[in-house]
Amino acid sequence: MTIAEAIEVAGSDSSGEVEPVMVSRADGVWVTVGSDHTDRKLETVGVTLSKQICPKPVAPTLWRFADVAPHWDRLILRSHAVIDGKRRLYQEGPVANLRPPAELMARYLGRQAMLPPGTAMFCGTLGVIGGIAPGERFEIELEDPVLRRRIAHAYAVKPLPVEG
């Protein structure tokens, strides 16, 4: 994971996916927004490898999960992609369309429990508006309409040449 404002990727076949990210620390579970940036060409060979090859940008801002848990389903995920110099809405919708964090943590841990400190978990993504496409910039956002705040992060995508 990185909070960098630019990432390097192999080739020009990758794109982002906005996701809520649970971060467990010694002082409890926190939430932020991240991008499960993925190499789409490599995804045709293997999903795990396609995700492991790309950095995972996340916003440096965190909210206490306990502060948003009562109204979790009202949080909104949103992303924009800059493709060929044009900014477009890429994803948007409520986190209610995803599995709840407690269910994801229980599936991962094999029991009802919070993530151990030092663990982060990406929590799923929404469908893309207009089709998956690589871009030169990706903007991600988690909006809390109840507490009237948002976490946002953006990053440039710098493709490296693929040789051989």
pLDDT at 126 over 90: yes
Give me the pLDDT at residue 129, please.
97
pLDDT at 28 over 90: yes
Mean pLDDT of all residues in 141-161: 97
Mean pLDDT of all residues in 38-65: 92
Mean pLDDT of all residues in 58-69: 98
Percent of the chain that is helix, strand, coil (3-state, to 5):
20, 45, 40
Give me the pLDDT at residue 48, please.
85
List beta partners, residue 142. Answer: 77, 151
Mean pLDDT of all residues in 52-78: 97
| 6-159: CATH, from 3.90.1150.10, 3.40.50.2000, 3.90.850.10, 3.20.20.120 | 3.90.850.10
What is the pTM for the complete model shown? Answer: 0.93
Indicate the burial class of 44 (C-beta count within 10 angstroms; 0-12, 13-18, 19 or more). exposed
For the chain, what percent of residues have pLDDT higher than 70? 100
Categorize the per-residue pLDDT at 61 as very low, low, confident or very high, splitting at 50, 70 and 90. very high
Report DSSP state, residue 116: P
What's the pLDDT tens digit per position in 79-109?
999 999 999 999 999 999 999 999 999 999 8
The whole-chain average pLDDT of the chain stands at: 94
pLDDT at 162 over 90: no
pLDDT at 18 over 80: yes
Give me the pLDDT at residue 146, please.
98
Distance CA 55, CA 105 (A): 22
Domain ranges of the chain: 6-159
pLDDT at 35 over 90: yes
Categorize the per-residue pLDDT at 113 as very low, low, confident or very high, splitting at 50, 70 and 90. confident
